[in-house]
Amino acid sequence: MTSPDSATYLNPMLNPEGFKLGVFAYVHEGGVTITKAPERWGARWPDIAAMARVADWGGMDFLLPLARWKGIPGEVDNRHWSFETLTQAAALSGITERISLLSTVHTPVVHPVYAAKALATIDHASGGRAGLNIVCGWNKADYDMFGLQLMEHDDRYVHGMEWYEIWSRLVRDTNDPFDYDGTYFKDLKGISGMPGTVQQPQPTVISAGYSPAGRDYAVKTADYFLTVMVDEDEGVRGIADIRDREKRFGRRAEPLKPIGVAYVVCRETREEAEAFHHYYAVENADTKGVDHYVAARAPNADTPEPLIRELRMRWAAGNSAYPLVGSPEDIVEGLLLFRKVGFCGAALSFVNYLDELPFFIERVLPLAREAGL
């Protein structure tokens, strides 16, 4: 896990102060929405690059992509047009100056030796701003493209732990070759590679998940835990559960920092925001896409059944992220709720990032600062 001593480089995720605010899920068409509304995010590269510059200069802390290989079959082709996340961080490192650049990496798909080399490259190119978001996978359609079998739920984390052991050893700047013989990564010989990452002993690590196994994995590997908050009570319970797990595993590093996912619809007035929310998430929901998504996720994740049934609108609106819908003041209230529950930051998405992020930066960030975030 990232050592505070390595904070000699400008990287907002290493700064222990402040509630972290980042932009989430911007490298694929539709972002987190499953909507047919024409305003939806097209994820064309010039727009991604422009949005990244706005986020960088505007004071956001991180850019965090969702990793997809295959889209959601629906009435429109959501998420099929998508960029790869390691290469996007490398590309964005050249046109940004201070923001943290995360790469979301599927452990079953990307070999840890390759991921270590790629992260080291991004970390050097960006002056120590790289970060790894580990996802152990769930989407069978993604696996099918690689000819991979979807492992049993908890086995994915056993595989992910071996992956992490190899990756984290390799990014250290030691040039000390080692062998590895695990259950999944068998008979790897003379693993070595220079350089290690600029951040030592390793770059910022995030892990994304929800289930008990996912939480255990994050406690053992990560600095930050990217997760979902259904509502205040569930959020409080979830974070208490993470703290229990930290004790159980005798976590020695500083406490895991939870980051919640939220989608933002912010307008001058709450009425305008609610009207747009209804327009894209209800009137223009891609119902076929939502059906497909719910069916694909339900058997894999520990997402509570009532959440799947009752919150279909949240899938259309923002992939089951927490809704932040309203005026700038309403959005700050929502962010304060995340902090009250115990989150250290929020990963935010927008229907159209380039149209909406400047307004967020101009109107919400000053209020958030005033509120002590």
Query: How far apart are CB 226 and ligand FMN at their closest, in Å?
Result: 5
Site for ligand FMN contains 174 (CB under 6 A): no
Is it true that the peptide bond before 201 is cis, omega within 30 degrees of 0? yes
Minimum CB–partner distance for residue 112 and ligand FMN (Å)? 16
227 binds ligand FMN (CB under 6 A): yes
Q: Which runs of consecutive H residues, i.e. helices, occur in the chain?
A: 45-58, 85-93, 112-125, 140-146, 153-170, 212-221, 232-249, 270-278, 287-297, 305-310, 312-318, 328-341, 353-359, 365-370
- For the chain, give the number of residues: 373
138 binds ligand FMN (CB under 6 A): yes
CB of 362 to ligand FMN, least distance (A): 27
Given candidates 88, 96, 139, 202, which one binds ligand FMN under the rule CB under 6 A? Answer: 139
For every residue of 281-298, DSSP letters joined together read IIITB-HHHHHHHHHHHT
Number of residues near ligand FMN (by CB under 6 A): 22
Q: Which of 6, 82, 88, 104 binds ligand FMN (CB under 6 A)?
A: 104
Nearest distance, CB of residue 181 and ligand FMN, angstroms: 26
Residues 196-216 as b or e (16 or more Cβ within 10 Å = b): bbbbbbbbbbbbbbbeebbbb
Site mask for ligand FMN (CB under 6 A), range 240-269, x = bound: ---------------------x--------
- Return the number of the residue (103 or 327) whose C-beta is nearest ligand FMN: 103
Candidates 146, 306, 327; CA nearest to 234 is 306
Among 214, 258, 334, 342, binds ligand FMN (CB under 6 A): 214
User: How far apart, in whole angstroms, are the C-alpha atoms of residue 38 and residue 129?
Assistant: 34
Which residue stretch of 123-131, 137-145, 160-168, 192-200 sits at the interface with ligand FMN (rule: CB under 6 A)?
Answer: 137-145
According to CB under 6 A, which residues from 286 to 315 bind ligand FMN? 300-302
Site membership for ligand FMN, residue 230 (CB under 6 A):
no
Q: How far is CA 71 from CA 41, 145, 180, 245, 311, in A?
A: 14, 12, 35, 34, 21
Is 213 a residue that touches ligand FMN (CB under 6 A)?
A: yes
- CB burial of 224-256 (b: ≥16 within 10 Å; e: otherwise) equals bbbbbbbeeeebeebbeebeebbeeeebeeeeb
Name the phi and psi angles at 48, rounded to 5. -60, -45
Q: Does residue 135 touch ligand FMN according to CB under 6 A?
A: yes
Q: What letter would DSSP give residue 280?
A: I
List the structure tokens of 34.
Answer: 């499953």
Residue of closest CB approach to ligand FMN: 214
CB of 101 to ligand FMN, least distance (A): 15
Backbone angles phi, psi at 257, to 5 degrees: -105, 110
- Name the minimum Å distance from CB 176 to ligand FMN: 31
Candidates 2-10, 133-141, 184-192, 232-240 — which segment interacts with ligand FMN by CB under 6 A? 133-141
Which residues of the chain form contacts with ligand FMN (CB under 6 A)? 66-67, 104, 106, 135-139, 208-211, 213-214, 226-228, 261, 300-302
